A and B are shown apart, each in its own frame.
Chain A
């Protein structure tokens, strides 16, 4: 049970926040100013989902809230909306994971895909209701798809670089 010791959990919590801040900073670098075309994936979201589905304890509500709220403010998004969607989506994913005894990767990926698409559409719907200027629909959808496609890469990096292994149902039930 070494993977679940308090120290381990807190190490990974800190690691999550550091990784998220690094991602935010990297995105802010003035490198691809004129880059137009396929928007890159939302790595921050993928990181949160991948880590949460591997070991739920290392991504508590507090970190999610702080990291995504900061991102909302820095990336010129409506503050709070994307954070709200992330919180709700992460709760639903956690719940889905709990009810399932088996959680193979394809199923996980499917769940994440549905969740991300739902978030993108819901985000758009809320912005539309609030009469905010909408981003081009095509670009938004493309970004959602790119994000979904990148998920396995983020999972692989979490597993092999950060050594975050997936907790089996037995370990979760043992708690």
Chain B
């Protein structure tokens, strides 16, 4: 009895040796993580991939019950909420009218313009499995991964606004770093004034807007959309609204409801046009096919192309 009790074995040098070996191993693990970060992060993704989907059977009911409890709490405020909703409904009716008119106008204008909405912007929908479990990291885990073609860096939205971006992809799970995470920085445009800014998460509910050129030109309630700078996000996705805090800082109130993330859309990004050379024009290839530029700078038909494919009027 009690042969394996701790106090018995402590005096044995075997234990010390074991401890020393473990310490060495762990130190080297930390160092490897620091030196070869991407590989370790892939390993982390693989471990998460193994553990979290296996726990789903246990996690799903608990999450459901907890959410039900949360909803039940809100029943206690039912009367206030009802009043509030009635008021909001009144306002919404007015807005609906405005929206209908705008929709008609928009349809007419689109028809005039023959605009096509970006056909490449498709999305994959995932369900939130787990959160980061740490008070210092704001991220969630989705049940879609490399198997579904998810890549690092893609934008993620809930129904309304941007939630964050993919950082870390396992085979069947992927991690979304939320905009509120302290490591999150995305380039945005503030809408009516068109100013560029950087939305920087700082672990609070409303990320900071920084590097704004002219804060005087921005009013509370201005829309924040992604700018697509750096090819990171598709441009024009709704992020939120500008709010001023009491310390005169600009912050963004996110349109996405981070409290109730359930289904998320991962937007399939496509690399935008990048400007590698500041002097280059973006446009069709110049000179056009079949033409060359002569010494005086004028466009003339390419003699070699003409030789290969004779003009139709010559053949007549």
Contact = CB atoms under 8 A, between A and B. Distances in A.
Contacts of A56: 5-7
A33 B131 contact: yes
Contacts of B55: 25, 28
Interface stretch (A68-76, A101-109, A113-121, A154-162): A68-76
Contacts of A5: 1-2
A96 to B, nearest CB: 13
Interface string A10-33: 000000000000001111111111
Determine the main DSSP class of A at the interface with B: helix
A75 to B, nearest CB: 4
Nearest to B130: A28
Question: What's the interface size class on B, roughly?
Answer: 35 or more
Contacts of A67: none
A95 B44 CA distance: 33
Contacts of B22: 61, 65, 87
Interface string A65-106: 100001101111111110110011001001000100000000
Interface stretch (B28-36, B96-104, B283-291): B28-36
Interface of B: 1-8, 10, 15, 18-19, 22-23, 25-27, 29-30, 33-34, 40, 43-44, 47-48, 51-52, 55, 58-59, 62-63, 66-67, 128-141, 175, 178, 180, 182-183, 203-205, 258-261
Interface of A: 1, 4-6, 9, 24-34, 36, 39-40, 56-57, 60-61, 65, 70-71, 73-81, 83-84, 87-88, 91, 94, 98, 126, 130, 132-133, 135-136, 139-140, 143, 172, 175
